[in-house]
Structure 1
Amino acid sequence: MSALADTQISVVKPTSAAVHRTNAVTRLMVPVPLTLVLLMTLDWVSAATALLALALLMPFAGLSAKQFWLRTLPVWIAAPLSGVTMLLYGRPDGTVYWEFGLAQISDGSIAIAIATMLRVLAIALPAVVLFITVDPTDLADGLAQILRLPARFVLGALAGIRMIGLFLDDWRALELARRARGVADTGRIRRFAGMALAMLVLSIRRGSKLATAMEARGFGGDIPRTWARESRLGWADAILFAIGILVSIAVVWTSVATGHWNFIFA
């Protein structure tokens, strides 16, 4: 358990921004209404409205420009890729500009590609921005005390998350050890397979020891447990959740008012 306590997850340190005073559960739940709204329609207006709201609220997130771009880089890579897929294989409509086999670029596929790319950004960016400073322990406290999830599940998930950093350290140490023995200079696929098998065995052993240690300390008991830190909701949480609801309403209203609302379940 000492290794568990020493392991740290890469989390952006909280600042004095207002959003960082909210509960971790609130930051987890705030993007849900907006996500549901964006999943119900496929149009560029709703997604663009959500991105505009995110841009206006970014100064209150407490993130520097470097932190924002580094942490959201995978989203900016994934969004264009999803757009390219829809551009080539989306629903053909209107003028066809290029065609090769099953791939076809038309007015309809271009519109769907733009809407898909913006929708991916509008769904993923708020979640990343809000969740980037959440401490796993704070989240576990909130899940167990506020959402009333089973303590065994919450603490097991927390232990697994805390072990990620240790897993990465073990991988690097194993790689250096194999290089020192001269068995990792050739055959990258074979080397990766061997290291993956070794890490699987090590993870199973460490997981078994951790589970035994946690059971011995009463983490798996049926008696209602106490918590070292109380997790509670306040006015800041209500305001943040209200902002999320208002943004969702604004997205729907703007899309319907402009005639671009495209209900995909109709």
Structure 2
Amino acid sequence: MTFAPIADPAAPLARRNPVAKLGAALLFSLPLIATVDPLTPALALLVELAVLPFFGVRYRALARRAAPLLLAAGGVLVTLTLFAAERSGTLLVSLGPFDITTGVLTSAAGLILRIFAVALPGIVVFATTDPTDLADALVQNAKAPARFAIGALAAFRLLPLLGQEWRSLTLARRARGVEAGHNPVVFASTAFALLVAALRRGGRLAVAMDARGFDSTAPRTHARRQHFTAADTALLTCAVTAATAILTLSLALGVFRPVVG
């Protein structure tokens, strides 16, 4: 698995400050959590897909990055179909004790669309941003603690190693005559070994970073300067405006269903 940027760096929005892109993603997606109707996240998805070319990301590349969301969507659909407390609407299918109604499917569609609408902006941000630039921007523009930003960058860089470590553990066990297959005990054992290895690597990395002065309170210089420009402010403003317009349209159409109340 790779987390390297997959966008055209010359695209108009891909060139924006990493903090601006991250803030725009949060400001646009978080208001969608306020409602459970399917129309609001559907409109948000249309907006996100419409602006995707301006980030320099191809739809096929985005689909590969977002593929794991299908598992979450399937889990939501199965869970609501089997265990929904409210089964209003027209009865469509009756499977023994489970009644699939239009109300159940509407609730499931709303939650599934919200998963994609909230997750896609974050995927686009990381698909168009170099992790080092993001850490530098968090320190320089968002005034985040350097220890936190650099530590998060190091952890992010180590994520692809987990896949390699898993393959190494699997091959080592296979060489000793232990074939995992579909055995949950062997799978759990391998996962625990991966967790222990990750904790040890993280501990060694933390000690090495402290030894090199990453926890120093002395003034720090930056090799890459991150500038927050008027175009970055405009991106944040457009994100807020788009989210407000979507929620206003949902209220005007009478489909807004607040999470609380």
TM-score normalised over the length of structure 1: 0.84
- SS state at 2:99 partner: strand
Which of residues 203, 206, 213 in structure 2 aligns to 1:211? Answer: 206
Q: CA offsets per residue over residues 32-71 of structure 1, 9 Å max, x none?
A: 2232321111212212211221232122121223212111
Give the SS at the match of 1:243: helix
Q: 1:11 maps to which residue?
A: 4
Shift of 1:72: 1.4
Partner of 1:26: 20
Question: Is 1:119–2:104 an aligned residue pair?
Answer: no
What SS does the corresponding residue of 2:44 show, helix, strand or coil? helix
Pick closer, same or farther for the CA change 1:251–1:178 going to 2, 3 Å: same
Matching residue's letter, 2:234: I
Q: d(CA) in 2 for partners of 1:226 and 1:165?
A: 28
Task: Look up the SS of the partner of 1:233 in the other structure.
Answer: coil
| Map of 2:149 onto structure 1 | 154
- Cα distance, 1:111 vs. partner? 2.2
- What is the rounded CA distance, in whole Å, between the counterparts of 1:242 and 1:176 in structure 2? 51
Structure 2 distance, partners of 1:201, 1:124, is 29
Q: How does 1:196-207 map to 2 (within 5 A)?
A: 196-207=191-202
- 5+ long unaligned stretches in structure 1: 1-7
Tell me, yes or no, if the aligned pair for 1:90 and 1:112 is still in contact at 8 Å. Answer: no
Structure 1 residues 88-124: Cα deviation after superposition (integer angstroms, max 9, x where no partner): 4152223334456763322322322222222222222
Deviation, 1:242, is 2.2
Could you say which residue in structure 2 is the equivalent of 1:183?
A: 177
Gaps of 5+ in 2: none
Q: 1:107 aligns with which of 84, 98, 102?
A: 102
The separation in 2 between residues aligned to 1:174 and 1:139, in whole angstroms, is: 32
AA at the equivalent of 2:38: W
List per-residue Cα deviations over 1:233-266 (Å, max 9, x = no partner). Answer: 1233223222211210221121111111122222
Seen in structure 2, the aligned counterparts of structure 1 residues 39 and 219 have a Cα distance that, compared at 3 Å, is same
The answer (yes or no) to whether the contact 2:57–2:128 under 8 Å persists in 1 is no
Amino acid at match of 2:58: S
SS in 2 for 1:161: helix
Deviations 1:141-171 (A, max 9, x none): 1222222222112222222222223333333
Displacement, 1:194? 4.5
> What per-residue deviation string (whole Å, max 9, x for no partner) do you get for residues 130-150 of structure 1?
322222211111222222222
| 1:23 aligned partner, one-letter code | N
Match of 2:43 in 1: 49
Distance 1:118 1:258 in 2: 18
1:90, 1:113 within 8 Å by CA — same for their partners in 2?
no
Note if contact 2:6-2:57 (Cα within 8 Å) is conserved in structure 1.
no
Distance in 1 (CA, whole Å) between partners of 2:12 and 2:52 is: 11
Closer, same or farther: CA 185–141 of 1 in aligned 2, 3 Å: same
AA aligned opposite 1:12: P
Name which of 72, 79, 91 aligns with 1:78: 72
2: CA distance, partners of 1:114 / 1:196: 33
Residues 101, 198 of structure 1: alpha-carbon distance in 2 compared, 3 angstrom cutoff: same
SS in structure 1 of the partner of residue 108 of structure 2: helix
TM-score relative to the length of structure 2:
0.85
Tell me by how many angstroms 1:222 deviates: 2.3
